[in-house]
Amino acid sequence: MSKNTHGAPLTPAVFHILLALYGGEKHGYEIMKLVEKDSSGSVTMGPGTLYGSLERMMKSGLVAESNTSDPRRIYYKLTAEGRTVFKAETERLAQASRLAQARLRTA
């Protein structure tokens, strides 16, 4: 899933879910709305995409269900591995952006 321990760059959906959860635990609807807001509407996901991604991310050790007292909703949180992967992917994207900006200035 990522360039570091998971082998490839993150998909936009996975990156934005990790970004949404970096600020703290959230339930599914909150994640969907924050992803849409953070991406200025360029990444939208329905429940199937969101929960399918969350399931794969839990199996990969990036996300875990949170223990909450709210029985109506399942909350999700980043794991230590999820934080590490998110930070590494953010740095990879920043480096690629710096390189692209430098090339644009010299073109």
pLDDT band at residue 58 using 50, 70 and 90 as cut-offs:
very high
Model confidence pLDDT, tens digit, residues 5-43:
555 689 999 999 999 999 899 999 999 999 999 999 999
| CATH code: domain of residue 55 | 1.10.10.10
User: Domain range for residue 97?
Assistant: 12-106
- The pLDDT, as a whole number, for residue 68 is 78
- 45, part of any domain: yes
Q: Is residue 24 packed enough to be buried (19+ CB in 10 Å), middle (13-18) or exposed (0-12)? A: exposed
Task: Quote the pTM value.
Answer: 0.86
- 95, part of any domain: yes
- 33, part of any domain: yes
- 43, part of any domain: yes
